[in-house]
C-alpha cells in the first residue's frame, strides 16, 4: 500500500505531500488552493553523463554519447500515436528535456488534468522503438546538434567545460555528435530505458489545486510495481586541475561573450552547503553587490551578467557569464576581487542583504506551480527538501558563508572561455 506523508513548514505555514507509491515511484504533491494552473513533471535520474553503467553489479555497458537525449525524443512516439497529439486533445502544454544528470517529461494545464496525467504516466512507461523510427530520428537530432553548434551561448559554455574537464563526460554536448548518434540502435535504447526508467529511479512532482487522492486515482491505475535495482555509473578519474586557462572562438556576434569557470573538487553537496553557496553567489554577483558595481563602473559588463553553481555526478564548479567589450579584463577583475574578499572576508552588511534576497527569492518561487514542481524534482535527486533549504537559508550565518568562500573559488583553477566577433 502507498504511504502518504504530510510535510509542513513551520516558517511558511505551507505543506506538501510525499507519496511513496507501492510501485516504487516517489510522488510529491504541493497543493496550491484556488490556483487555476496545474503542473506535473515526471523525471528519471538519467542524463547525458551516464554513458557507462552497470545494473546490479553486472558488466559495465558503454553507450554512445547523446543516447539519453535521443531516448527522450523517441519516447513521445508511441505505438498508438504521438503523445503530443494526445495532449493537444486535452489542451495541455507539454514538453521534455534532457540535462547532464536527468531526463524529464512535463505538462501544464488549466483543465483536463486527469486526462493529461494519464497521458504522461502512460507514454513514459511504454517505449516503442523500431529500426525505421530510430533511423528517422537521426536526421532530426542531427539538425538540432548543428543548431546548437551555431549558438554562441552554447559554444562559449561547452568550450569552457572542455577547458575545465579532462575526462568527465560533462564536457560533451548533451545531444552527442552526428557521428555518435549514428551508432544508436533500438536495442541500445531499450537497454538504457529498462536500466534507468525504473520507477524506483524516478519521481513525479505535481503542483496545483489538487489532493493526494486526485493523483492516486491515476497513479494506482497506471503504475505497476517495479523491482528495485542497483544502478552504478562509471567515470574515469578526473584531476582537480583544469585543462587550460583560456580558449576563444570567433563567431557572428556583435559583443563578445564570456564564461569564467572555477573548477571545484567533485563531491556530493549537502542541503546546508547548498544554502551557503546560494548566499555566497548572491553576495558576489547580485546587482547590489560590490563586485557588480566595480564591473559596471568599468563598463566591463551589462545586464546579461550572471552566475551559476554547477554540480552533479562527479562535477562541481561556479560559472560567471555575460557580455563584455573586454572579457579578459572582466575576468581579471573577478579573480582579483575573489582573492581580495577571501583575504578580508565578507562584510556583515553584504551577507545580510544577500541572505534576505536569497530567502525572499526562495519563498516567492512558491507562488508558481511550475517553479515548485521543477524545484522539487531537482531537489529530490539531490536529497534536498524544499522547506528544509529555506530553513537553512534563514539560519545561515556570516561565519558559515565566509568558511564556504575559503573552501571554493580557487582563482588558480579557473578558466576563461570567450566568443568574440568574427
Nearest in space to 74 (alpha carbons), one of 96, 91, 92, 52: 96
How far is 196 from 229, CA to CA, in rounded Å?
10
Burial bucket for residue 222 (CB in 10 Å: 0-12, 13-18, 19+): middle
Alpha carbon distance 197, 204 (integer Å)? 12
Q: Which positions ≥6 away from 44 have C-beta within 8 Å? A: 102, 103, 104, 196, 197, 201, 202
CB 37 within 8 A of CB 110: yes
Q: CA angle 351-354-358, nearest 5°?
A: 135
Buried b (16+ CB within 10 A) or exposed e, 20-33: ebebbbbbbbbbbe
- Residues 27/215, Cβ–Cβ less than 8 Å: yes
21 with 15: CB under 8 angstroms? no
CA dihedral 297, 303, 304, 309 (to 10 degrees): 80
Identify the sign of the CA torsion 372, 194, 100, 421.
Answer: negative
Contacts of 73 (CB under 8 A, 6+ apart): 137, 140, 141
Report the catalytic residues.
Answer: 72
Nearest to 40 by CA among 103, 95, 99: 95
With contact defined as beta carbons under 8 Å apart, do 25 and 208 qualify? Answer: no
Helix, strand, coil: what percent of the chain each, to 5?
45, 25, 35
Report how far residue 40's alpha carbon sits from residue 369's, in angstroms, rounded to the nearest whole number.
Answer: 9
Amino acid at each position: 500500500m502507498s504511504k502518504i506523508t504530510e510535510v509542513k513548514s513551520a516558517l511558511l505555514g505551507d505543506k506538501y505531500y510525499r507519496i511513496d507509491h507501492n510501485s516504487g515511484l516517489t510522488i510529491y504533491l504541493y497543493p496550491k488552493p484556488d490556483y487555476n494552473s496545474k503542473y506535473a513533471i515526471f523525471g528519471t535520474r538519467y542524463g547525458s553523463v551516464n554513458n557507462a553503467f552497470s545494473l546490479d553489479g553486472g558488466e559495465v555497458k558503454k553507450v554512445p554519447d547523446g543516447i539519453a537525449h535521443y531516448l527522450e525524443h523517441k519516447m513521445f512516439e508511441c505505438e498508438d500515436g504521438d503523445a503530443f497529439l494526445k495532449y493537444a486533445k486535452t489542451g495541455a502544454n507539454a514538453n521534455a528535456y534532457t540535462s547532464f544528470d536527468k531526463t524529464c517529461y512535463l505538462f501544464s494545464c488549466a483543465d483536463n488534468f486527469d486526462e493529461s496525467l494519464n497521458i504522461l504516466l502512460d507514454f513514459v512507461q511504454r517505449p516503442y522503438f523500431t529500426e525505421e523510427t530510430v533511423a528517422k530520428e537521426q536526421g532530426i537530432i542531427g539538425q538540432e546538434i548543428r543548431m546548437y553548434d551555431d549558438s554562441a551561448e552554447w559554444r562559449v559554455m561547452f568550450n569552457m567545460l572542455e577547458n575545465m574537464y579532462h575526462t568527465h563526460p560533462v564536457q560533451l554536448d548533451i545531444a552527442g555528435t552526428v557521428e555518435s548518434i549514428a551508432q544508436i540502435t533500438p536495442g541500445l535504447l531499450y537497454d538504457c530505458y529498462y536500466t534507468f526508467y525504473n520507477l524506483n529511479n524516478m519521481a513525479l512532482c505535481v503542483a496545483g489545486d489538487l489532493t493526494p487522492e486526485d493523483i492516486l486515482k491515476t497513479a494506482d491505475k497506471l503504475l505497476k510495481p517495479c523491482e528495485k535495482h542497483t544502478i552504478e555509473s562509471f567515470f574515469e578519474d578526473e584531476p582537480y586541475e583544469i585543462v587550460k586557462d583560456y580558449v576563444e572562438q570567433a563567431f557572428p556576434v556583435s559583443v563578445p561573450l564570456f564564461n569564467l569557470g572555477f573548477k571545484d573538487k567533485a563531491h556530493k553537496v549537502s542541503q546546508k552547503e547548498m544554502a551557503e553557496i546560494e548566499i555566497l553567489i548572491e553576495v558576489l554577483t547580485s546587482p547590489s553587490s560590490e563586485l557588480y558595481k566595480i564591473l559596471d563602473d568599468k563598463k566591463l559588463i551589462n545586464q546579461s551578467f550572471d552566475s551559476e553553481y554547477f554540480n552533479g555526478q562527479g562535477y562541481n564548479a561556479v560559472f560567471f557569464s555575460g557580455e563584455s567589450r573586454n572579457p579578459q579584463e572582466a575576468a581579471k577583475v573577478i579573480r582579483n576581487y575573489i582573492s581580495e574578499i577571501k583575504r578580508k572576508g565578507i562584510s556583515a552588511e553584504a551577507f545580510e542583504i544577500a541572505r534576505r534576497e536569497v530567502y525572499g527569492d526562495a519563498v516567492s518561487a512558491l507562488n508558481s506551480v511550475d517553479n515548485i514542481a521543477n524545484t522539487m524534482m531537482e531537489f529530490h535527486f539531490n536529497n534536498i527538501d524544499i522547506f528544509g533549504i529555506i530553513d537553512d537559508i534563514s539560519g545561515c550565518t556570516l561565519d558559515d558563508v565566509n568558511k564556504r568562500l575559503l573552501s571554493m573559488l580557487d582563482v588558480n583553477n579557473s578558466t576563461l572561455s570567450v566568443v568574440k566577433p568574427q
